[in-house]
Structure 1
Amino acid sequence: MRGDGARAWLDEGLKLLAEQGAPAVTLERLCERMGMSKGAFYHHFGSMPKFRTRLLAHFEAEYTTAIIDAVEGAGGLTARERLERVVAEAVKDTGPGLEIAMRAWAKQDPEAAAVQERVDATRIGYLRGLCEEAGHATPSRMATLLYLALIGGAHLMPPLPPAEMREMYGVLLPLLD
């Protein structure tokens, strides 16, 4: 795979992370998968630790910030509609591999742990705000329940497929009423 720019390297890093876990995200594997030289890698990142830091930031931006921004950018949606939209985004067909790999990485690496903690807090905080706006009696508990369903569904063996996750949220979301 050939790719230009730092984003292509970061996207490939997330794919490799999801497929094989953090220990597999090595300079050699990245270069092989990208069809690029080590020099091209160093041009963008300077070192593997700098790449890992940017990879964590890329994960947070793409799988948390961008999703929230897209839901909020839709405009004119009620809190319930935004909840439904964020749930739909969360259970897209990307599969659970990346989320599981990030959590495993966070158990082994303090920098990854700090990012995962921030991601979890941001996601739950966003859900809590929507649950509160939707008038749920216990928005913090409902937000946590919605998030735990996503995490738990990914960790089942085999993981719940997106269609089953959507059905599960079809049962949970009416609890907001």
Structure 2
Amino acid sequence: MDTADRLIESTRALLWERGYVGTSPKAILERAGAGQGSMYHHFSGKRDLALAAVRRTAQEMRESAEERLSGPGTALERVAAYLLREREVLKGCPVGGLTQDPDLMADPELRAPVDETFAWLRERIAALLSEARQDGALGPVLDPADTAAAVVAVLQGGYVLARAADSAEPFHRAVGGVLDLLGARVTD
């Protein structure tokens, strides 16, 4: 891993652990094992480095989601594969967790990759739900865009419930409930 990558990865970890305000350039450099000049050689400062870290986190989430959403199976099976994929539930969503940082969310440029990622996810799931509807697997009562928004909200809320309970069970129940609701609308 080159110095720029080490700086980005260190920033990602520190943003997760400490938030934007608690992530100092000194802590980033120490964790990355880099000198002060290297940070400013690759980035204009902490904010620029944080933006690169947020973008990388968002990109990784999109890639992971797309792997399941474009995999084999029917449209509903692909949505289920995404919802049921292996996750570190008690750690929370790496992108969703960023929304809990008021300083990061107060900066439109830092917030943009988070918003764009959730918009992408809603649109991607809505496209699959539209496909399922066209194939007759999803009833005509459900609006694909509204249902996709509900799926993403349940997923993010499941993380919150799991962390509050210190148990993955509420997350798995929430995901199971969404799958049951979608399954209840499947037609033969």
Q: TM-score range by the shorter chain?
A: 0.7 to 0.9
Residue 37 of structure 1, CA deviation: 1.4
Instruction: Indicate the residue corresponding to 1:36 in structure 2.
Output: 34
Secondary structure of 1:134 counterpart: helix
Instruction: Indicate the residue corresponding to 1:173 in structure 2.
Output: 179
Residue 19 of structure 1, CA deviation: 1.3
CA distance in structure 1 between the partners assigned to 2:96 and 2:18 by the alignment: 11
* 1:107-152 deviations in Å (ceiling 9; x for gaps): 3211123222211211111111122222233212221111111222
Structure 1 residues 54 and 99: CA distance shift in structure 2, 3 A = closer
CA distance in structure 1 between the partners assigned to 2:11 and 2:166 by the alignment: 24
Structure 1 residues 7 and 81: CA distance shift in structure 2, 3 A = farther
Q: Does 1:144 align with 2:149?
A: yes
Gaps of at least 5 residues in structure 2 are: none
Instruction: Indicate the residue corresponding to 1:67 in structure 2.
Output: 64
What is the CA RMSD across the aligned residues, in angstroms?
2.4
Structure 1 residues 96 and 126: CA distance shift in structure 2, 3 A = same
Structure 1 residues 155 and 169: CA distance shift in structure 2, 3 A = closer
Q: Percent identity?
A: 22
TM-score, scaled relative to structure 2? 0.77
Structure 1 residues 125 and 158: CA distance shift in structure 2, 3 A = same
* 1:54-97 deviations in Å (ceiling 9; x for gaps): 12211221112x123322553x32212211222134x6016216
Structure 1 residues 98 and 71: CA distance shift in structure 2, 3 A = closer
8 Å CA contact 1:15–1:98 kept in 2: the answer is no
Q: Report the residue type matching 1:154 in the other structure.
A: Y
CA distance in structure 2 between the partners assigned to 1:119 and 1:163 by the alignment: 26
Instruction: Indicate the residue corresponding to 2:84 in structure 1.
Output: 88
Q: Report the residue type matching 2:42 in the other structure.
A: H
Map of 1:50-61 to 2, 5 A cutoff?
50-61=48-59
Q: Report the residue type matching 1:69 in the other structure.
A: E
Structure 1 residues 111 and 160: CA distance shift in structure 2, 3 A = farther
8 Å CA contact 1:19–1:97 kept in 2: the answer is no
Q: Report the residue type matching 2:92 in the other structure.
A: P
CA distance in structure 2 between the partners assigned to 1:63 and 1:70 by the alignment: 10
Secondary structure of 1:20 counterpart: helix
